[in-house]
Amino acid sequence: MVDGGFDGLSGQILAATANPALPRLFLEFGVLLLLLGILARIAHRLNLSPVPFYLIAGLFFGEGGVVGVPASDGFLETVSELGVVILLLLLGLEYSGDELVRTARRQRWTGLVDLVANSVPGVVLALLLGWGLPGAVALGGVTYISSSGIISQVVRDLRWRRNPETKPIVSVLIIEDLVMAPYLPILTVILTGTGLVTGIVSVSVALMVVAVVIVVSLRGSRRIRRIFNPKDPVSLLLLVFGAAIAAAGIAGFADFSPAVAAFLVGLLLTDEVAEVARRRLDPLRDLLAAVFFAYFGVTTDPGEIPGVLLPALALALITIGTKFLTGWVAARTVANTTTSALRAGALLSARGEFSVIIAGLVVISGVLPPNFNALVATYVLLTATIAPIMARFAEPLGWWWDQRPRRPRRTLKG
């Protein structure tokens, strides 16, 4: 029986490795991870965000790149989708329902300036390029939303957590995340061409779900704590990640955004449960998020980039300026200094995960031409690279401006 069992196991192993595509898949994926690891090390040495490096790696591996990994590769696409889920899950774990409500009230005018100033350039450019309503709504969202991941990384690297403008910046990010909750279902409705009544129902359901989750987060934290026990971290890891994936799957069946569903699962968890879950999921997030950004590069044809470089550069410069306006408004609520305003503007200028998620929805729909994807990839590359560099120069420049000698004002003698 031992021999038979061993022979049976050997047969299963041979059958599993008989797939000729499997070794190639392992090799390509392994080389991709090795390259991403090297690029992450380079980014760390340069004190820059690794996001643009991951996008470049994806362009290198894409169908129009050197290696030529098929964008339709089911395995890579699945891992990439898991990256989206965990990015939004970790984002939800950063906040609580009470914090969302208080922030929305305190920074509503800053949030309004942020929404109008940063979405309008994307809307205008999409209309000028002839992409119509779907393009305008999609590109407006791309230029509006800042990258929470890049901003948090820069704040950690530069030790800016205790700066006066950091809390208003976090407030702006929370408001942007709140806007994304109804925005993503609305965008999905527009891209899929769903009828008006169906679209209104879908968006209403999305808003109702968000409201219910916030209420549960405010009142049901004790019951949730009983289910997700922070004293058993392995069980907690499996329960939280499993709940997020299951919620994303259910959301997909219900025509609701899977990314927002994962965000709402994270929003339900607070205090010690959220803290333990974040510590356990952080390494997994870094791995899957790296694949997600690389996959976005894989789905982008490098040959399309030269044709969109000028509009992407113009859009980046304009929206970096509008983010500095948002940063100035946010910083003035706590500190009336040029240094705080410049630091806030530099941080908010980076676009990343949400912009790529929006472009991913567009790619899946097939409504807009491929150069939309190339434009967003180039735009994210530019802003994700420029913003951390600007952040390094913001503090000395702002300090010099605030400390510069000023001429005394002339007074009239009576």
Residue 275 pLDDT exceeds 80: yes
What pLDDT was estimated at residue 119?
96
The token pair that represents 91 in the structure block: 């984002």
pLDDT band with cut points at 50, 70 and 90 for residue 13: low
What pLDDT was estimated at residue 1?
47
Which position has the higher pLDDT, 345 or 297?
345
Residue 409 pLDDT exceeds 60: no
Please compute the mean of the pLDDT values over residues 242-262 and round it to a whole number: 77
Residue 6 pLDDT exceeds 60: no
Which position has the higher pLDDT, 3 or 390?
390
What pLDDT was estimated at residue 121?
96
Model confidence pLDDT, tens digit, residues 92-113: 787 666 666 676 677 788 889 9
pLDDT band with cut points at 50, 70 and 90 for residue 338: confident
3-state secondary structure of 182: helix
Output the average pLDDT for the chain.
79
Helices 97-106 and 108-128 meet at what angle, rounded to 10?
80
- The answer, as to whether pTM is greater than 0.85, is no
Please compute the mean of the pLDDT values over residues 277-305 and round it to a whole number: 83
Give percent of the chain with pLDDT exceeding 70: 76
Please compute the mean of the pLDDT values over residues 293-305 and round it to a whole number: 79
What pLDDT was estimated at residue 113?
94
pLDDT band with cut points at 50, 70 and 90 for residue 10: low
What pLDDT was estimated at residue 414?
43
Taking residue 132's Cβ as centre, other Cβ atoms within 10 Å add up to 13
Which position has the higher pLDDT, 307 or 301?
307
- Least confident segment among 7-16, 192-201, 237-246, 282-291: 7-16
Max intra-chain CA distance, the chain: 113
3-class SS string, 274-313: HHHHHHHHHHHHHHHHHHHHHHHHHCCCHHHHHHHHHHHH
* Pick from 369, 351, 336, 325: nearest CA to 109: 325
Residue 36 pLDDT exceeds 70: yes
Which position has the higher pLDDT, 338 or 2?
338
What pLDDT was estimated at residue 314?
96
**d(C-alpha 362, C-alpha 364), whole Å:** 5
pLDDT band with cut points at 50, 70 and 90 for residue 255: low
Which position has the higher pLDDT, 290 or 399?
290
What pLDDT was estimated at residue 235?
86
What pLDDT was estimated at residue 317?
96
Which position has the higher pLDDT, 379 or 222?
379
- Least confident segment among 35-49, 158-172, 224-238, 397-411: 397-411
- Least confident segment among 18-32, 84-98, 199-213, 319-333: 199-213
What pLDDT was estimated at residue 391?
86
What pLDDT was estimated at residue 217?
59
What pLDDT was estimated at residue 112?
92
Residue 3 pLDDT exceeds 80: no
What pLDDT was estimated at residue 311?
95
Find where tokens 């392994």 sit. 30
Residue 407 pLDDT exceeds 70: no
Please compute the mean of the pLDDT values over residues 243-261 and round it to a whole number: 76
Please compute the mean of the pLDDT values over residues 247-269 and round it to a whole number: 75
CATH class of the domain whose range is 24-69+92-400: mainly alpha
* Pick from 154, 150, 148: nearest CA to 180: 148
Q: Which helix (H) or strand (E) holds 388?
A: helix 370-403
**d(C-alpha 185, C-alpha 179), whole Å:** 11
Residue 88 pLDDT exceeds 90: no
* Pick from 236, 233, 234, 241: nearest CA to 265: 241
